Amino acid sequence: MSAGAVIVGGHLLLALAASVLPLQSVVAQDSNAILQGASGAHWLGTDSLGRDVLSRTLHGGQPSIGVALVAVLLAAVLGFGLGTFAALVGGWLDDAIMRVVDVLLAMPSLLVLMLVASFIGREPVVLVATLALMYAPPIARVVRGASGNVLTRDFILAARLRGASRRAIVVGEVLPNIAEVFITEVAMQFTWILLAFSSLSFLGLGTSPPTAEWGLMISDARGFITVSPLPLLAPVAMLASLVLGVNALVDRRAQAALP
């Protein structure tokens, strides 16, 4: 098992286990113990409101990982459907779809997210939907490119000569040949969604306080790093290791896919 798999698996486990582990309260404030260093009572110290950093750090992955997972699944379905559809129909409709995809790709996703969060609302449903829409285009583009290449190959003609339906061509001939690229791209987009969402929280437009979320925790801790760097470093380490873990995993898969 690769290091990437271990890290990503560990993160998922921790995020799930945080709710059942005997951790201190995420929100309980202790005004007598603010910005303390590591101690027996608080293994990673406390933040500026005297909350337990360890507990907040372990819980802090739940919102971002949850939102990113659901959003990336939706984006994957959307992107795959759009990409294969465009490749299959070809012609002007293909061009039109890919133009729209290009325009969506060119929009700065963080800007759109901020606008949505500020004007429409920051409920998870709204953010997940926006993220899925913003991150489906790159997946559609990759799927379109890869299936376009597959569709020009002679085995597609051979399948048509045997009476294969469009669905049979997509599912039976194209899909097995683009699965690798597709999975890799989806995993990459998962990290970008994760980053976009925590950036949004960092800017104060994502998760609302007092919920524990890494981006928000980093934002809160910035003003106090001269006193205690732990509230900053703990979520930084978690976010960094998760992103790197997914990348290591993707890198390995991509390398294994090479001939």
Partner 1 sequence: MTAYLLRRLAISLGVFTVMSVLVFLGVEALPGDACTALLGRSATATKLAQCRGANGLNASVSHRLIDWASGLLRGDLGFSIKRGKSVVDIVLPRLRNSLALATVASLMAFPLAIVVGVWSARRKGTRVARAVDTVSLVLMTMPEFVTASVLWLLFAVWLPLLPGVTMVSSNASLLEILPNIWLPAITLALVVFAHVMRSMRASFLVTEERPFVEAARARGIAERVVVRRHILPAALPAPINVIAVTAAWLLTGTFVVEVVFNFPGLGRIAVDAISDRDTALILALTLFGLVVFIASSFVSDAVTRALDPRMRAQVAS
Partner 2 sequence: MTDIALQLDRFSVGVSPFDAAHLGAVEPQLILRDLSLVVPAGTRLGIVGESGSGKSTLLRAWIGAIGHGLFVSNGTALTAGHNLFSLADDDRRQLLGSTVAMVPQSVAMSLTPHLSVAQHFAEVLGQDTDRTSQLLDEVGLNGAQLRRRFAHELSGGQQQRVLIALGLARDPHIVLLDEPTSALDVGVVHDILTMIAEAQHRRGFTLVCVSHDLSVIDRVADRVVVMQRGEIVEDASREQMNRRPSHSYTAELLAAAPTLGIRHVGADRGTAIDRVVPAPIVRAEALSVVRSSSRHRLGRANAASATTAVDTLTLEVFSGEILGVIGESGSGKSTLLKTICGLLPPTGGTVQWADGFDLATPVERRPIDMLRRIQMVFQNPDDSLNPAHSVRRLIDPTARRSWSRFGGGLKAAHDETLRELLNTVGLAPEMLERRGAKLSGGEKQRVAIARALAMKPELLLLDEVTSALDVTVQAGVLATLLDIHRRLATTMVFVSHDIAVVASIADRIAVLRNGRLVEVDVTNEMLSRPRDPYTARLIELARRTTAD
* Interacting residues with partner 2 (CB under 8 A): 90-92, 95-96, 153-155, 157-165, 167-168, 171-173, 176-177
Phi, psi of 204 (to 5 degrees): 85, 15
**Nearest approach, Cβ of 253 to partner 2 (angstroms)?**
16
200-229 binders of partner 1 (CB under 8 A): 202-205, 215, 218-219, 222, 225-226, 229
**Nearest approach, Cβ of 111 to partner 1 (angstroms)?**
7
Q: Who's near 189: CB < 8 A, 6+ residues apart? A: 72, 75, 76, 135, 138, 139
Considering CB distances under 5 to 8 angstroms, the limit depending on partner class, which of partner 1, partner 2, none binds residue 16?
A: none
Cα-atom radius of gyration of the chain, to the nearest Å?
22
**Nearest approach, Cβ of 122 to partner 1 (angstroms)?**
12
Q: Who's near 111: CB < 8 A, 6+ residues apart? A: none
Select 40 or 163, whichever has its Cβ closest to partner 2.
163
Of 19, 118, 152, 208, the one binding partner 1 by CB under 8 A: 118
DSSP per-residue string spanning 40-70: SSSTT-B-TTS-BHHHHHHHTHHHHHHHHHH
Compute the distance between CA of residue 258 and CA of residue 45 in angstroms, rounded to an integer. Answer: 46
For residue 181, the 8-state DSSP code is H
Select 84 or 189, whichever has its Cβ closest to partner 1.
189
**Nearest approach, Cβ of 8 to partner 1 (angstroms)?**
13
Considering CB distances under 5 to 8 angstroms, the limit depending on partner class, which of partner 1, partner 2, none binds residue 154?
A: partner 2
